[in-house]
Homo-oligomer: A and B are copies of this chain.
Amino acid sequence: YVQFAEGPLLDGLYWNEWPNSTVSTLSSNYSHILYENLLLGVVRIRQLKVRNNTCSVHSSFLTFLHDCYSEYRYRAEDRSDFGLGSESEWKYTPASKISPWYWGSVGFYSSGGFMFTLPKSKQQSLKKLEFLRQNSWLSRGTRVVFIDFSTYNANINLFCIIRLVVEFPATGGALTSSHIYSVKLLRYVTTYDYFLAFCEIVFCLFIVTFIIHEVIQIVKLKKDYFRSAWNWLELVLLAVSIVAIAFNIYRTLKVSQLMEKLLSDDRVYPDFYFLAYWQVLYNDMIAINVFFAWIKIFKYVTINKTMTQLSATLSRCARDIIGFAFMFFIIFFAYAQLGYLVFESQVEDFSTFPNCIFTQFRIVLGDFNFEAIKAANRILGPIYFITFVFFVFFILM
């Protein structure tokens, strides 16, 4: 909770955190020979800083405290050069427009920053890091450090894009986390992949015919077409499919482009993170698409008698259910508000308002930590818990 962190200390932490990376750095030199996983290009390290005096110190403390570095916000970012030299590690590199921001545990970071790449050999890497440490590359204003690298496993044809993150919140201390994307960027390698490629082409053709079909229907029915929720669903499915196809083509091109660059010069950091990010987003999109496709099945089974009966019953008592749900949610949010205000600073599960809502859902399902609630507030904790359970179970159910 309360860890003290200062300039030199940060470096210590930084070094402690390093080992699991140095191991891989070590291995990277011989990666062409023996390892199952091949390190692609080099490791890139990037930091983001905030400006001094980005927060206001109360007048009575001004004699003690001269500096004040706020939390990371885009506006408070320190973009000025510092330290020695004019190399990229001392100069701010602005973020490229398309690269995604990173959502850390205490902030939402831009993709620019002070960045440099580690050389290929282990000794040189250590020397470089030592040099940066002596010249205090990490300062009190540093808010986050990213360590990015990618590996490729030929056996199973998967890229692994790894990002190690060390966040330095304004309260002091350091939070380490890691982000690993395992994605298949190089498609069309084995026979099975070519079969998949064939399926994709068939799918494209199917989408084209489907679009024509829908366009005809729209022309025919005009406004009536847009009244049915099923048709809207179909349009959404189509749109997502088209975007997916477009991304698929773009991804293939981009990867081959990056690969070419990497093959010509292996001292360059290949920005696969950016591609992996979009690949994951693309997967999510596909997932939602498939989910709605499942729901579409209902369109064709509605003729079923049981269904009609059920939906009729539902629509008849819809009014009551809505009134009831309205009432339920007023009380539910009242409790969430109460939990938020009382337990906010003590219990992890109540630290933000959405978390409170999730926590209350989990209480309903029987997954909760009563001890923590009780420890946070000996009187209000149990009262909150028991009245909430009573409310949910005994009145509404």
Measured between alpha carbons, how far is A363 from B56 in the docked complex, in Å? 47
Report B-chain residues with C-beta under 8 Å of the C-beta of A333. 294
Q: Mark A80-105, 1 if CB is under 8 A from B, else 0.
A: 00000000000000000000000100
Q: Is the CB of A64 within 8 A of B32?
A: yes
B190 engages A55 (CB within 8 Å): yes
Q: Is A144 an interface residue (CB 8 A)?
A: no
Collect the chain B residues with CB atoms within 8 Å of residue A27's CB. Answer: 4
Asked whether, in the complex, the Cβ of A36 is within 8 Å of the Cβ of B5, the reply is yes
Q: Is A58 touching B4 in the complex (CB atoms < 8 A)?
A: no
B362 touches A370 (CB 8 A): yes
In the bound complex, CA of A64 to CA of B297 (Å):
48
Contact with B along A325-357 (1 / 0, CB 8 A): 011001101110110011001000000001000
Q: Which residues of B contact A250 (CB under 8 A)?
A: none
Do B377 and A365 touch (CB < 8 A)? no
| A56 vs B189: C-alpha distance when bound (angstroms) | 6
Copies in the complex: 4
Question: Which residue of B is nearest A183, CB measured?
Answer: B345
Does A378 sit within 8 A of B, measured CB to CB? yes
- A382 contacts B367, CB within 8 Å? no
Total residues of chain A contacting the partner, CB 8 A: 107
Q: Does A246 contact B (CB under 8 A)?
A: no
Interface pair A156/B294, CB less than 8 Å apart: no
Q: In the complex, how many angstroms separate the beta carbon of A353 from the nearest chain B beta carbon?
A: 12
Task: Say yes or no for A380: interface residue by CB 8 A criterion.
Answer: yes
A61 to B266 Cα, complex, angstroms: 12
Binds B, one of A220-228, A236-244, A282-290: A282-290
A334-B295, A370-B367 known; A60+B2 contact, CB < 8 A: no
